[in-house]
Amino acid sequence: GQLIIPRKATDPPVVFHWLPFVGSAISYGNDPLKFFFECREKYGDVFTFILLGKRVTVALGPKGNNFILGGKSITFNAEDAYTPLTTPVFGRDVVYDVPNDKFMEQKRFVKVGLSTDNLRAYVGMVEEEVEQYMNKEATFRTFQTNDINEWGQFDVVKVMQEITILTASRTLQGKEVRANLDKEYAQLYNDLDGGFTPINWMMPNLPLESYRRRDRAQKKMSDFYVDIIRKRRAGNPEAEHDMIAALLEQTYRNGEYLKDHEIAHIMIALLMAGQHTSSATGSWSLLHIAHNPDIADALYKEQVQNFGTPDGKLRSMTYEELRALPVLDSVIRETLRIHPPIHSIMRHVRDDVVVPGTLSNPGKDKTFIIPKGHFVMASPVVSQMDPEIWKNSEEWDPLRWSDPNGVAAQAFKTYLDENGEKVDYGFGAVSKGTESPYQPFGAGKHRCIGEQFAYMQLGTLISTVIRNVELRIDAIPEHNYHTMITMPKEPRTISYRRRKFD
Ligand code: HEM
């Protein structure tokens, strides 16, 4: 065994491991949550572990989240950490392939495309796509049985992946993408996705066929979008409510419009950012609903009470109505607490950084310094599952969000961001926006801007499914941490039966 001694007295403690280069890659990779809880027990909230030759310093708990996610974007740098993974997939000149201030401008452009006005227009489209999907004429025939007395089965991840891409392309991505979904686009997407794995991130330059396929697909996908963009520019670009329409109109601070390939690459980035995060959250939500008949019942009743009509049918809902459904909202919120799709958030350390004493070792006077060249890692899921913070932390209990005495009751205090816009950081009991035990969408400068879109998409999807079918499953699957996004392991087959309307 190799006992790694911190190189300097100020270095954070290093997690014990047997293999020099591999370090703790196996235990971290198999179950990061278990690994973090065990390390916290031994070393406290701040420690360093070896991950395939990289030195990664973790800071846990709400204070650790705040330290990393609220840190300066120059010192804790996202581009350095992510670009080997993202640039080959998204393409050049966007997101982490540009200096952070340019990406922040691009993020602002994307926000325009995710405006409330657009989200209002999307609810009906998502509902229609899900309805169609569940009917016989659907492109994908996963729902084999329409007999109201018969139970059918479906693989929840497969179904959620298909519904997510159908609804995202119908809304954000635009009609041209939707029209090409069952053609070449799907194959390109799969090839790109095959290049968006932890292996690609750790080892960006392997001479593997999957890497070549990824590169070919990136080029073709980019050309596909550029073609749409050129046709739009030549025609009537304002006619659509989608992201391409919004991006065509934006200008950088220097007055320049986005170039065709920049719009194309932002579209690919949004596809990758939204696809697995939403389909994973949709899958875990349906699994828990299927496992909890009481909550399923409450969800259905909420639909009937709000949207029931005299003829016994359920009418469509508006975006505002969708956002005002407490049971549905807390189902998604609670699912994201236990199953946040992203378990680790990374930055690269560009300068030595002093760890605040309150975080590293409360009550003692030893100061840790994270050396330049390390990576830092935040894992909000650790505080989201912390039994010291949450009552019955392991239990999926949407009702905790409406318990007036619960920890979660303090959630959703609103903060203003740099641009004076309202941002829901969740859990606003503390003064700093980034210090919170509930951060499934991250925090600070790199915080997610897809949250409202995801709630719209998932809320409409879950409502539509619940209106049509009853769901059942015996057990909640375990987590698969080997993919970029935390997915349920097999078996994950849900039984369903169509509801009777009389
Ligand atoms: C950033 C989670 C859906 C676009 C993030 C981050 C998290 C996250 C944790 C922070 C990453 C970091 O700090 O390194 C989620 C979850 C989603 C979701 C849980 C769904 C349930 C979406 C969707 C879109 C999107 C649908 C686009 C339509 C983005 C963008 C960023 C981001 C542009 C900014 C990255 C940066 O500034 O570095 N998301 N996301 N996300 N997400 Fe999401």
Residues 172-223: pLDDT tens digits? 999 999 999 887 898 999 999 999 999 999 898 899 999 999 999 999 999 9
What average pLDDT does the segment 240-264 reach?
Answer: 96
Q: What are phi and psi of 399, to 5 degrees?
A: -65, -20
Single-letter amino acid, residue 468: N
Distance separating alpha carbons of residues 59 and 356, to the nearest angstrom:
11
Q: Are 489 and 466 in contact (CB under 8 A)?
A: no
**Ligand 1 atom closest to 114 (CA):** 28
pLDDT tens, residue by residue, 103-137: 999 999 999 999 999 999 999 999 999 998 988 54
Q: For ligand 1, atom 14, which residue shows the shortest CA distance?
A: 345
Domain(s) of CATH 1.10.630.10: residues in the chain: 87-339+449-498
Q: Are 279 and 161 in contact (CB under 8 A)?
A: yes
> What is the per-residue pLDDT for 365?
64
Report helix angle 451-468 to 293-307, nearest 10.
90
Helix, strand or coil, per DSSP, at residue 225 = helix
Q: Give me 362's structure tokens.
A: 């409360």
**Ligand 1 atom closest to 172 (CA):** 28
Q: For ligand 1, atom 27, which residue shows the shortest CA distance?
A: 450
What's the length of the chain? 502
> What is the per-residue pLDDT for 429?
35
CB contact set of 328 (below 8 Å; sequence gap of 6+): 299, 302, 322, 459, 462, 463
**Ligand 1 atom closest to 340 (CA):** 19
CA dihedral 410, 104, 249, 218 (to 10 degrees): -110
* Nearest alpha-carbon partner for 43 in 29, 30, 26, 24: 24
**Ligand 1 atom closest to 445 (CA):** 37
Q: Give me 241's structure tokens.
A: 């409510």
Query: pLDDT confidence of 415, banded at 50, 70, 90?
Result: very low
Mutation pick for ligand 1 pocket among 89, 94, 277 (CB with most ligand atoms within 8 Å) = 277
Q: Please give the CATH superfamily to which domain 87-339+449-498 belongs.
A: Cytochrome P450 (1.10.630.10)
pLDDT value at 327 more than 80: yes
Q: Which residues line ligand 1 (CB under 6 A)?
A: 78, 107, 110, 270, 273-274, 277-278, 281, 340-342, 345, 440-442, 446, 448-450, 453-454
pLDDT value at 442 more than 80: yes
Distance from residue 307's CA to the centre of ligand 1 (Å): 31
What average pLDDT does the segment 168-172 reach?
Answer: 95
> What is the per-residue pLDDT for 436?
81
Q: For ligand 1, atom 15, which residue shows the shortest CA distance?
A: 441
What is the distance, to the nearest Å, from the Cα of residue 20 to the centroid of all Cα atoms in its chain? 33
ipTM metric: 0.99
Q: What are phi and psi of 495, to 5 degrees?
A: -90, 145
Q: For ligand 1, atom 37, which residue shows the shortest CA distance?
A: 446
